[in-house]
């Protein structure tokens, strides 16, 4: 009888050990799921929550397009950005057409002004760099006014 009780105890221990392992495997799986980065496409669904990291904090775009700024932005874009960005299609970097349907204005300006820190720390920019196979967005040393003009130009690209 004593021996039987002994066996039962071992059995109970074994069962609980196995159960424990199973739970462990589940929680590792859960953790992995939480840690796996979301794709850019997934993050774009909540793009409003990404303001980016850098000198620009959230700002409201005026409703009216400022044509003077658009013209300045176009000149800057053609001089400093078209080596990697085409407005009609994906090139070395993404096309900026309709960018404000998937990014906030402040995120776009921070990406232009502070790409190194953005691609290291901002979740969306980090994932974008991965999806562009590690080819980084270049810092072209624009001033805030120049970046703002480029943003105004982007508003007109559909
Ligand atoms: C040497 C190539 C290169 C140059 C020059 C360059 N970019 Fe980029 N840019 C990239 C790449 C590659 C990405 C995507 C990968 C990443 O973000 O690291 C990108 C991403 C971006 C993004 C984010 C796009 C999106 O869909 O989220 C913006 C905005 C941008 N660039 C604007 C500009 C502007 C404005 C200029 C000119 C002042 C410029 N870039 C010059 C390579 C470049």
Out of 44, 51, 85, 121, give the residue to mutate to test ligand 1, the one with the largest number of ligand atoms within 8 Å of its CB. Answer: 85
The answer to whether the CB of 104 falls within 8 A of the CB of 48 is yes
The length of the chain, given as a count of residues: 158
Radius of gyration for the chain, computed over Cα atoms and rounded to the nearest angstrom: 25
Ordered by start, the domain boundaries in the chain are 1-36, 40-155
The total of other beta-carbon atoms located within 10 Å of residue 66's CB is 14
Residue located nearest, by CA, to atom 9 of ligand 1: 137
The answer to whether the CB of 84 falls within 8 A of the CB of 139 is no
Distance 101 CA to ligand 1 centre (A): 17
Phi (first) and psi of residue 55, to 5 degrees: -70, -15
**Which pLDDT does position 115 carry in this prediction?**
98
pLDDT tier at 33 (50, 70, 90 boundaries)?
A: low
The model's pLDDT over 53-86, given as tens digits with 9 standing for 90+, comes to: 999 998 889 999 999 999 999 999 999 999 999 9
Give Cα separations from 46 to 42, 49, 50, 105, 157 (angstroms): 8, 6, 8, 14, 22
The model's pLDDT over 107-129, given as tens digits with 9 standing for 90+, comes to: 999 999 999 999 999 999 999 99
Retrieve residue 104's tokens: 């906030």
The model's pLDDT over 1-29, given as tens digits with 9 standing for 90+, comes to: 567 666 556 555 555 555 555 567 777 76
Residue located nearest, by CA, to atom 26 of ligand 1: 94
For ligand 1, residues with CB inside 6 Å are: 77, 80-81, 83-85, 92-94, 96, 99, 103, 108, 111-112, 119, 125, 128-129, 132, 135-138, 140, 142, 150
In this structure, which topology does domain 40-155 adopt according to CATH? Cytochrome Bc1 Complex; Chain D, domain 2 (1.10.760)
Ligand 1 nearest-atom number relative to CA 81: 37
Who wins on pLDDT, 4 or 96? 96
pLDDT tier at 148 (50, 70, 90 boundaries)?
A: very high
Out of 137, 139, 145, give the residue to mutate to test ligand 1, the one with the largest number of ligand atoms within 8 Å of its CB. Answer: 137
């Amino acid at each position: 009888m004593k021996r039987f009780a002994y066996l039962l105890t071992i059995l109970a221990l074994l069962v609980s050990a196995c159960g424990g392992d199973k739970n462990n495997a589940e929680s590792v799986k859960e953790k992995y799921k939480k840690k796996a980065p979301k794709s850019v496409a997934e993050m774009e669904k909540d793009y409003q929550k990404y303001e980016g990291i850098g000198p620009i904090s959230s700002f409201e775009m005026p409703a009216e397009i400022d044509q003077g700024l658009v013209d300045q932005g176009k000149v800057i874009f053609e001089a400093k950005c078209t080596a990697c960005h085409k407005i009609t299609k994906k090139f070395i970097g993404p096309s900026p057409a309709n960018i404000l349907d998937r990014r906030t204005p402040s995120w776009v300006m921070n990406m232009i002004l502070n790409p190194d820190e953005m691609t290291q720390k901002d979740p969306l920019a980090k994932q974008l760099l991965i999806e562009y196979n590690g080819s980084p967005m270049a810092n072209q040393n624009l001033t805030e006014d120049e970046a703002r003009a480029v943003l105004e130009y982007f508003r007109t690209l559909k």
